[in-house]
Amino acid sequence: MVQSFRSPGHGELANIGVAVCHGFTGSPVSMQGWSEYLADAGFAVNMPLLAGHGTSWQDLSRTPWEHWYRDFEAAYLELAGRCDTVFVAGLSMGGALALRVAALHPVAGIALVNPGLTFSDKRAKYSGLLRHVMKSVPAIGNDIKLPDISEHAYARTPVAAVHQLSQLFEDTIARLPQVTAPTLVFRSTVDHVVPETSMDILKERIGSSDVQVVPLENSYHVATMDNDAPLIFSQSADFFRRNHHAL
């Protein structure tokens, strides 16, 4: 069983919280290194295991997207109840969930890694129909340049969950103008999962006037477990330190 991660924080940064979100069909394993880095730096961290994840793809196929959001929003609210300042961070679909939380709550800033808002597979737009005739498709996990690294994602991708993901994307895109917090985006130059249209929509529609994009030259989609992970960890921590008085 893949577990969630929570750290109370310590030292001068203990009142700064970071809610961290893994991606679609993935697990907290993909964000463990980042979360532990932030916890070791003194931040309070809460990284939940999203509903339908960490068990079986069949479970995910029965889980509405609102439950993914509910779990991540709860992690944010838990931190908001004990910290002066709270940031959100997410990978892939976790990026969409982080953006949605930022649209609805007063986050101090957002750190995203290859955030997903669109699909590279053209069949995704028909997932609402395809789910009735096709239960699953090949996995999308482990797009990692480093050899022999696994994010412990599902071996299959449930089509019904892709339909739910499309609804989450649609809802989040509509809310992007409400996102006004400083935003740091790490974007792999080679990503086999999330297309560049996700970045185009994010930059075009986000309400924030402070958006920084950092290119990752040596990592694929799951960059938090790839060659550029140290850069993500250190630059995001610096970003959180700089913006913790943003509110």
Whether residue 163 lies in the annotated active site: no
Of 71, 191, 226, 228, the active-site residue reads 191
Whether residue 221 lies in the annotated active site: yes
Longest dimension (CA), the chain: 55
Amino acid (1-letter code) at residue 94? G
Of 22, 53, 221, 244, the active-site residue reads 221
Of 27, 35, 92, 136, the active-site residue reads 92
Whether residue 191 lies in the annotated active site: yes
Question: Catalytic residue positions?
Answer: 92, 191, 221
